[in-house]
Amino acid sequence: MSNVHVQSGSSMSPVASALLSRLAENWWLLLLRGVAAIAFGVIAFLWPGITLLSLTYLFGIYALADGVFGLWAAIVGQGGDTSSRLWLALGGIISILAGAAAFFWPGLTALVLLMFIASWAIIIGLLEIYGAFQLRKVIENEWWLVVSGLLSIAFGVIMFVHPGAGALAVVWIIAWYAILFGCLLVGLAFRLKKYQRT
């Protein structure tokens, strides 16, 4: 029996209830985001000699896919308070803008690209932590999204603190981050699937 359970209906706010319902009904979108992140990380590991231009395009594809899945999760479904899915929409829009920027300015220098990816990761991490606090209003012991957000923030901070790391080290750091982040999203997706209405 799972140690995660929905809190009693009497203490559940309509906004929090709508958030849980929306995420549970669209759990597969989080799963797709996780799979996309894992694929991005695996490709980066298998292609360690990747050029800066290729890394920029690879990040752009991943960010666009992540943004589309995130925005779709915020939009699909019926009912619910708009504020309950605002963090999903913001995360999706930010990822789409980051992916589009990678394609419009592919000639970014290594330092600019790293700072760009670091900023994106920190913003996404903060939004995920906000979303986790919204989820904790309806799900007890739910930590997948908190850890995912903390991982994103830690990754962004590491990139800011050590911007001069070698190209291979940077690719490996990005690859590890993407795989861990993806695994956390996959785990969260399957946890949310348990709350899907039958």
Select the highest-mean-pLDDT range: 1-5, 144-148, 167-171, 185-189: 185-189
All domains of the chain in start order, with CATH = 14-193 (1.25.40)
The residue among 56, 87, 64, 65 whose CA lies nearest residue 74 is 87
pLDDT band at 131 (very low <50, low <70, confident <90, very high): confident
Q: What is the pLDDT of residues 99-113, one digit of tens each?
A: 898 888 877 666 777
User: In the prediction, which pLDDT does 77 show?
Assistant: 52
Rounded to an integer, the average pLDDT of 123-143 is 76
pTM (predicted TM-score): 0.65
Residue carrying the six token digits 């290729």: 54
Predicted pLDDT of residue 76: 73
> Which two tokens mark 97?
């803008």
pLDDT band at 122 (very low <50, low <70, confident <90, very high): very high
String of DSSP letters for 114-157:
HHHHHHHHHHHHHHHHHHHHHHTTTBTT--HHHHHHHHHHHHHH
Please report which confidence band the pLDDT of residue 83 belongs to, taking 50, 70 and 90 as the band edges: low
Asked if residue 153 has pLDDT above 90, the reply is yes
Residue with tokens 């990816």: 117
The fraction of the chain above a pLDDT of 70, given in percent, is 73
Pinpoint the alpha helices (H) of the chain: 14-25, 27-46, 52-75, 86-104, 110-135, 144-161, 167-193
Which of these, 123, 120, 119, 183, lies nearest to 148 by C-alpha position?
183
| In contact, 172 and 48? CB cutoff 8 Å | yes
**Bigger pLDDT: 19 or 72?**
72
Mean pLDDT score, 133-140: 69
Average pLDDT over every residue of 55-64: 84
Residue 148 corresponds to which amino acid? S
Alpha carbon separation from 73 to 16, 70, 137 (Å, rounded): 16, 5, 19
